[in-house]
Amino acid sequence: MSYVISKNGKSKVFHRKSCMYVNQIRYCNKCTRKNDFKDFVIMGYRPCKYCFSLGYKYDCEIKGIDNFIGDANIKHMLIGDDLIILTEVGYWKINYSSEHTAFVLYHGNFYPDDENPERYITSEFHLQEDAGHSQTLMKFIKYIKSHDDFRLRQLNNIDNYPRKTLKEKKQYKRIKKKYDYFIMANTLRLISAKQKIKTDKRACVG
């Protein structure tokens, strides 16, 4: 990957080539270097706050993300500095970690039971460690899709799940718990959606 720095060197910042701040570097100082992201960090540079922000990457990647998602039931929305992703069975958050100088993925502990975006970011999450970190959002979108497709298949097949051995029984119990929770959260969501329609109607009449 190539990034742009200023040879002038006062501000040890590196930019993506498409960053608007690249135009502000004087031509004689502008230097494009073919190095990995981590090489720049090792050399003492820090990524530009603008072109390495989640919002910037989201704008750049949104077309590809939408193409990848296609007809799948996956919603994504930028709320502040977080990218929230909702699938049928899970909700997720991506944000920029300055510790890792990369994006990291969080998995929601509970499925939000209403459609209020504020609830999405104030809910509890845990770091999805096996997803690692990434310089692109797409890597996580792909991870989420395969993770939740698998989960959905598991939930839909809960009755056929083998539970002969102790290991299978344990596994079944774990998935059954998730299944019950999923059914409950879905019911709550439906109820709150219905209530919302009712209050909206009342507001129209009033």
Least gap, CB of 48 to Zn ion (angstroms) = 3
89 binds Zn ion (CB under 5 A): no
Select from 20-28, 76-84, 142-150, 160-168 the region that touches Zn ion (CB under 5 A): 20-28
Select from 13-21, 71-79, 160-168, 172-180 the region that touches Zn ion (CB under 5 A): 13-21
Judged by CB, which is closer to Zn ion: 19, or 89? Answer: 19
Applying CB under 5 A, which of residues 3, 5, 6, 15 lies at the interface with Zn ion? 15
**Cβ-count burial of 39 within 10 angstroms (0-12 exposed, 13-18 middle, 19+ buried)?**
middle
Bridge-based pairing of strands 102-108 and 133-134 is antiparallel
Least gap, CB of 60 to Zn ion (angstroms) = 12
Site for Zn ion in 46-65 (CB under 5 A): 48, 50-51
94 binds Zn ion (CB under 5 A): no
DSSP-assigned states of every residue in 38-66: HHHHHTT-EE-TTTTSHHHHHHHHHHHHH
Tell me which residues touch Zn ion (CB under 5 A).
Answer: 15, 19, 21, 48, 50-51
